[in-house]
Amino acid sequence: MTEMRLLPVSGKQMVKVFGKIGYKVERQKGSHIVMSKEDVILVIPNHKTVSKGTERDLIKDAGLTVEQFNKLLNK
Protein backbone atom coordinates (compact mmCIF):
# COMPACT_ATOMS: atom_id res chain seq x y z
CA MET A 1 0.00 0.00 0.00
CA THR A 2 3.00 2.30 0.33
CA GLU A 3 3.13 2.73 -3.47
CA MET A 4 -0.14 4.69 -3.36
CA ARG A 5 1.32 7.36 -1.04
CA LEU A 6 2.52 10.59 -2.50
CA LEU A 7 6.24 10.94 -2.09
CA PRO A 8 7.63 14.41 -1.38
CA VAL A 9 9.16 15.68 -4.63
CA SER A 10 10.71 18.86 -5.95
CA GLY A 11 9.60 20.70 -9.05
CA LYS A 12 12.73 19.53 -10.88
CA GLN A 13 11.93 15.90 -10.08
CA MET A 14 8.39 16.37 -11.43
CA VAL A 15 9.76 17.88 -14.66
CA LYS A 16 12.08 14.88 -15.04
CA VAL A 17 9.24 12.35 -14.56
CA PHE A 18 6.87 14.13 -16.94
CA GLY A 19 9.71 14.34 -19.48
CA LYS A 20 9.92 10.54 -19.40
CA ILE A 21 6.32 10.28 -20.65
CA GLY A 22 6.70 12.77 -23.46
CA TYR A 23 6.08 16.21 -21.93
CA LYS A 24 8.38 18.97 -23.19
CA VAL A 25 9.42 22.11 -21.34
CA GLU A 26 7.93 25.05 -23.24
CA ARG A 27 9.08 27.92 -21.05
CA GLN A 28 9.79 29.06 -17.51
CA LYS A 29 8.67 32.30 -15.94
CA GLY A 30 9.85 32.94 -12.43
CA SER A 31 9.39 29.81 -10.38
CA HIS A 32 6.88 28.11 -12.71
CA ILE A 33 7.83 25.68 -15.47
CA VAL A 34 5.33 25.15 -18.29
CA MET A 35 5.35 21.73 -19.95
CA SER A 36 3.10 20.47 -22.72
CA LYS A 37 2.20 17.34 -24.63
CA GLU A 38 -0.42 17.58 -27.38
CA ASP A 39 -3.28 19.64 -25.87
CA VAL A 40 -2.30 19.13 -22.22
CA ILE A 41 -0.42 21.90 -20.43
CA LEU A 42 1.13 21.44 -16.99
CA VAL A 43 2.38 24.34 -14.87
CA ILE A 44 4.88 23.00 -12.34
CA PRO A 45 6.12 25.12 -9.45
CA ASN A 46 9.91 24.95 -9.27
CA HIS A 47 10.02 24.61 -5.49
CA LYS A 48 12.13 22.43 -3.22
CA THR A 49 8.97 20.54 -2.26
CA VAL A 50 5.74 20.69 -4.25
CA SER A 51 2.63 20.71 -2.04
CA LYS A 52 0.75 17.42 -1.93
CA GLY A 53 -2.45 18.86 -3.42
CA THR A 54 -0.58 20.41 -6.35
CA GLU A 55 1.41 17.22 -6.84
CA ARG A 56 -1.75 15.10 -6.92
CA ASP A 57 -3.47 17.48 -9.38
CA LEU A 58 -0.47 17.50 -11.73
CA ILE A 59 -0.21 13.70 -11.68
CA LYS A 60 -3.92 13.44 -12.49
CA ASP A 61 -3.72 16.08 -15.24
CA ALA A 62 -0.80 14.19 -16.82
CA GLY A 63 -2.97 11.07 -17.00
CA LEU A 64 -1.00 9.08 -14.45
CA THR A 65 -1.89 7.34 -11.22
CA VAL A 66 0.14 7.96 -8.07
CA GLU A 67 1.51 4.42 -8.38
CA GLN A 68 2.66 5.02 -11.98
CA PHE A 69 4.23 8.34 -11.00
CA ASN A 70 6.12 6.75 -8.09
CA LYS A 71 7.48 4.00 -10.39
CA LEU A 72 8.70 6.57 -12.93
CA LEU A 73 10.21 8.63 -10.11
CA ASN A 74 12.24 5.67 -8.88
CA LYS A 75 13.58 4.68 -12.33
Q: How many domains does the chain have?
A: 1
Assess whether pLDDT exceeds 50 at residue 26. Answer: yes
Cβ-contact 32, 43 below 8 angstroms:
yes
pLDDT tens-digit profile of 3-19? 588 989 999 999 999 99
CATH code: domain of residue 59: 3.30.920.30
- For residue 1, is it within any domain? no
Answer yes or no: is pLDDT of 2 > 60. Answer: no
Check whether 1 has a pLDDT greater than 90.
no
If phi > 0 it is left, if psi is from -120 to 50 it is alpha, else beta; for residue 44 that is: beta
| Sheet architecture: strand order including 24-29 | 24-29, 32-37, 40-45
Residue 34: give the domain boundaries: 7-74
Residue 2 lies in a domain: no
Whether pTM > 0.75 for this model: the answer is yes
Q: What is the pLDDT of residue 75?
A: 84
Residue 62 lies in a domain: yes
The pLDDT score that the predictor gives to residue 4 is 80
Contact partners, residue 7, CB within 8 Å, separation at least 6: 70, 73
Residue 3: CB atoms within 10 A of its CB come to 13
